[in-house]
């Protein structure tokens, strides 16, 4: 396992990319198109950008790893589509000849990233992969997702690395039903989701807080729509960070959806690149506090191509830390000192957050 493009020890943010992810073709006009990644890859290929990151080599996961989170029936169903020009798994989830390969490699990126971050080979990582994963259930592909990448990475970390506490923060526009259900009855994963509600897939209300030994280890923030940088700053400042400091995870995983961007065609949020930068900066800071900086970000949704490019660069600029001033040579800094000061003290009204904080407080997390 050896990362490429970096002898310089300062470059320890891993970026997971592969052209196979562009071969997943859901069909003409489908919002989850290869262009979502292509615009990010093109930005990374520009002068003075790629040189600041490591680009590890990585392998697809085996079916044994897929079965850590998924039924043999689902694995067989998706595997059987290999070579088919087009297949439909549900009304939204369509696949092509190499979709199964791409999905296995996407999960492999996260597993490899977790391993390298845990070993200290990488400080942190961003998995720029598709298909996305957080809607995929144990026995069902849905919502553009074939296998649940972030859930598979968490299961693998628990089984292979012996981790007992993993925090997943999902800021995608849509609730990550599959991820929530994967860990609903365990205390080994704490799941926090901020999402537009009511919206697809219809889950993620306040009362969904976990079951059995997992009771209290799920927190949902069902937002009404229209929330922007200041509201999301409060979500991180007042809920996610306190939970992380109390739970003390050994690893933090972020399901990063850029569909909360102001102008996404499927959403109604108003987050800008500065907001993504702030959330990343704060999550990186708390990771340094509680788990030696072990943080991995994975791409979920986002259907505005400008958001995909600028949001990804904003996240990467924060992850690479000491190199972000150099990265800004080609792209503007996305978070000014003035904006950071405003976000740090945000007190904008957000009733859904206030209620979620009350629930987390009753469980002793805040």
Which residues are the active-site residues? 135
The beta strand positions in 27-139, using DSSP E, are 55-56, 87-88, 94-95, 124-127
Sign of CA dihedral 260, 273, 58, 47: positive
CB atoms within 10 A of CB 215: 13
In the numeric block, the tokens 């972030």 are attached to 150
Q: Is 239 helix (H, G, I), strand (E, B) or coil?
A: helix
The beta strand positions in the chain, using DSSP E, are 3-4, 13-16, 55-56, 87-88, 94-95, 124-127, 166-170, 189-196, 218-223, 251-256, 295-299
CB atoms within 10 A of CB 79: 14
In the numeric block, the tokens 């190199």 are attached to 323
183 in Cβ contact with 214 (< 8 Å): yes
Q: Report d(CA 30, CA 44) in Å as an integer.
A: 24
User: Pseudo-torsion of CA 233, 237, 239, 245, nearest 10°?
Assistant: 150
Q: Report d(CA 176, CA 174) in Å as an integer.
A: 6
Q: Report d(CA 75, CA 300) in Å as an integer.
A: 20
- CB burial of residue 245 (10 Å; 0-12, 13-18, 19+): middle
Sign of CA dihedral 129, 134, 136, 137: positive
How large is the angle between the packed helices 35-44 and 305-319, nearest 10 degrees?
40
In the numeric block, the tokens 């067989």 are attached to 76
User: Closest Cα to residue 104, out of 70, 53, 73?
Assistant: 70
């Amino acid at each position: 396992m050896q990362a490429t493009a970096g002898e310089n020890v300062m470059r320890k943010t891993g970026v997971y990319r592969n052209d196979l992810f562009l071969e997943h073709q859901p069909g003409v006009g489908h919002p989850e198109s290869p262009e979502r990644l292509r615009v990010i890859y093109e930005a990374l290929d520009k002068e003075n950008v790629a040189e600041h990151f490591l680009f590890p080599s990585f392998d697809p996961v085996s079916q044994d790893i897929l079965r850590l989170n998924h039924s043999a029936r689902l694995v067989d169903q998706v595997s059987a589509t290999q070579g088919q020009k087009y297949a439909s798994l549900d009304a939204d989830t369509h696949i092509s000849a190499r979709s199964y390969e791409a999905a296995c490699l996407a999960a492999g990126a996260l597993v490899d990233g977790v391993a390298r971050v845990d070993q200290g080979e990488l400080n942190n990582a961003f998995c720029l992969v598709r298909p996305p994963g957080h809607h995929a259930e144990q026995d069902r592909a849905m919502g553009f997702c074939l296998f649940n990448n972030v859930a598979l990475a968490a299961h693998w970390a628990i089984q292979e690395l012996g981790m007992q506490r993993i925090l997943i923060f999902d800021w995608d526009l849509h609730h990550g039903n599959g991820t929530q259900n994967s860990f609903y009855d365990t205390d080994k994963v704490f799941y926090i989701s901020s999402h537009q509600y009511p919206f697809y897939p219809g889950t993620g209300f306040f009362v969904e807080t976990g079951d059995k030994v997992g009771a209290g280890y799920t927190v949902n923030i069902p937002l009404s729509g229209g929330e922007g940088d200041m509201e999301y700053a409060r979500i991180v400042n007042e809920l996610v960070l306190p939970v992380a400091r109390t739970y003390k995870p050994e690893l933090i995983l972020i399901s990063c959806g850029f569909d909360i961007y102001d102008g996404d065609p499927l959403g109604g949020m108003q987050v800008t690149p500065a907001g993504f930068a702030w959330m990343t900066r704060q999550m990186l800071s708390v990771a340094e506090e509680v788990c030696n900086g072990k943080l991995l970000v994975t791409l979920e949704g986002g259907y505005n191509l400008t958001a995909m490019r600028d949001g990804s660069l904003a996240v990467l600029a924060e992850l690479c830390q000491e190199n972000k001033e150099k990265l800004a040579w080609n792209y503007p800094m996305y978070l000014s000192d003035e904006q950071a000061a405003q976000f740090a003290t945000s007190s904008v009204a957000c009733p859904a957050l206030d209620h979620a904080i009350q629930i987390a407080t009753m469980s002793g997390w805040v």
